[in-house]
Amino acid sequence: MSIALSALRLVTIAALLGLSGSLRAALPSADASGNPLPSLAPMLEQVTPAVVNIHSKQVQRLRNPLADDPFLRRFFGIPDMPQERVRQSLGSGVIVDAESGLVLTNNHVIEGADDISVTLADGRTLEAELVGSDPDTDVALVRVTADKLTALPLADTKRLRVGDFVVAVGNPFGLGQTVTSGIVSALGRNGLRGLGYQNFIQTDASINPGNSGGALVNLRGELIGINSAIFSPSGGNIGIGFAIPASLAREVMRQLLAYGEVRRGSLGVVAQDITPELASALALGQQPRGALVARVDAGSPAQTAGVRVGDVITQLEDQQVHDRAALHNIEGLLPVGKPIRIGVNRDGKPMSLKAVLKARPKELAGVDLDPRLAGASFAEVPERMRQNGVAGVVVSKIENGSRAESNGLRAGDLVTHIGRRKIDTLQTLQALADDAPRNLALQVMRGRRSGVLVMQ
C-alpha cells in the first residue's frame, strides 16, 4: 500500500469521526506529499491542563496491646506515645470551574483523607479543601486556590451514543498523565456490586488504578464522564471501564455546593419485582418488565400523581424501569423538586403521570414514631450496603438513659422487621409504626448475631 493511499484513508477516517473544521485545520502535515494526518493532539492540548493528579493522606493510629501495661512497655522499650501509620492514595481529578478552583474526583480517592493535595499538569502542587462528597454515587468535590487554571466544559450526555469515540485522561499507577482512547461500549450500566446509585458509561478506553477521578472526554474536548471503576477478575484493564456521566456529576456538584450534601428523591412507593405468575395475572405479556406497586405512602409524590397499588411502573423520565432495583436506583438519581414523568401500566394499558420528587428523610427520631422508641434515631442503610443485599434501617444514635436504650437498642443495630413485617426504608418503618402495634417487637441484627427486642 502506498504512503499516499494510507494518508488518504486516514483523512477519510478523520472525516468519519466528525472532527471539527478548526481541528482539521490544526492538523500538521505528516508525509512528503503534504497530506495531513489526523491527530488528537490539538484537542488534548486543551484538555490535559484541566486533568490533575490527586494525592491524599490518612493518618491511622495503631494500638499496641503491650503498651497498655507499664511494665511490659518498659521491658520491651515501647515508647509511651501513640503509634501512627500514614495511608496514602493516588488518583486523578478534573477542573470544572477555573475561577472557583473546583475539581471533581471520585469519593473513593479522597475518602477518610486528613490531607489532600492536587498536582497540576504544569507541575504546581496545591493544598486542596474538601467541599463535599457523595459515597453513593462515588463523586467528590474539592477546591484549590490558584491562578491560570484551565477547566473543561461539561457535555450534554443525553446526546451520547454507543459507538461514540472517547478519550480517557488520568494518572494510572502513579506513572503521570496518560491518555488512552476507545469508544462508548454501553450506556446506563448498573448492577455493579458495592457502587451505590449507578448510571455508568461503559467504555473500552484503558482505565487502570490511578485513573479514578480522571476525565473521559469526547472528540470536542468536552467532559462526558468521571472515570470511576473497572471490571476485571485480575485487577488490570481488560477493556471494561465505567465512568460517571457528566450530567450526574454536575447535579451532585450543584447539591454539594448548595447544601453540603446530596438530597435523594423518593416517589413514596414500595414496589416488588414481577414474577412469571404476576405477569400472567396482570396480562403483561411474555417479556414483562417494570416494578409492581405494592404500597403508596400517604401524602407522597406518587399519591399526588395518581399512582395506585397494582400499577406497574415501567419508566421514569426517559429511563426504562426493568425491576424494583432499577426503580430505586433511578429515583435516587433524579433531581429533587423538579417535575418528572412516570410511565405506568394499569390494567394492561399504558399511562403517563407527572410527579415532583420529595427529598428522602435522612433520619427519623424514634419519639416521632412511637414513645417506646424515644431516644433512638434511625437512618437508611448506606446504599453500597443495600446493593450488597443488606435491608433494613440502622440505629444511628442512642441517647444515654433513654427509653430506647433501656429497651436494649444500641447504636449500629440493624432493624430488619417489626413483628413479621419487613422493613426496607425509613418510610416503611414509619408506616409500620403508624399502625401502633400493641406489641412492638423489633428483629435486630447486631454484628453477626440476631434477635428480637420487645419495646416496653
Confidence of residue 343 (pLDDT cuts 50, 70, 90): very high
Asked, colleague to colleague, whether 40-262 and 363-455 share their fold, the answer is: no
CATH superfamily of 265-359: PDZ domain (2.30.42.10)
Please tell me the distance from the alpha carbon of residue 151 to that of residue 159, in angstroms, as a whole number: 21
Asked if the model's pLDDT at residue 3 lies above 50, the reply is no
Selected catalytic residue, list 89, 206, 212, 247: 212
> What pLDDT is stored for residue 69 in this prediction?
59
Residue count of the chain, please give it: 456
> What pLDDT is stored for residue 275 in this prediction?
82
pLDDT tens digit string along 221-230? Answer: 999 999 987 7
For the chain, give every domain's residue range.
3-38, 40-262, 265-359, 363-455
Confidence of residue 431 (pLDDT cuts 50, 70, 90): confident
Please tell me the distance from the alpha carbon of residue 171 to that of residue 151, in angstroms, as a whole number: 17
> What pLDDT is stored for residue 432 in this prediction?
74
pLDDT tens digit string along 238-252? Answer: 678 899 999 889 989
| Residue range 40-262, CATH number | 2.40.10.120
Grid coordinates belonging to 315: 419508566
* 278 secondary structure, DSSP code: H
pLDDT tens digit string along 25-79? Answer: 444 455 556 667 778 888 999 999 999 999 988 876 656 555 555 655 665 565 6
Confidence of residue 387 (pLDDT cuts 50, 70, 90): low
Selected catalytic residue, list 136, 138, 204, 413: 138
Please tell me the distance from the alpha carbon of residue 306 to that of residue 311, in angstroms, as a whole number: 10
363-455 folds as: Pdz3 Domain (2.30.42)
417 is known as an active-site residue: no
Selected catalytic residue, list 108, 133, 370, 413: 108
Asked if the model's pLDDT at residue 86 lies above 70, the reply is no
As a whole number, mean pLDDT of residues 315-325 equals 85
pTM of the full structure:
0.72
328 is known as an active-site residue: no
* 28 secondary structure, DSSP code: P
pLDDT tens digit string along 146-180? Answer: 999 999 999 988 889 999 999 999 888 777 788 99
Instruction: Tell me if residue 357 falls in helix, strand or coil.
Output: coil
212 is known as an active-site residue: yes
293: left (phi over 0), alpha (psi -120 to 50) or beta: beta
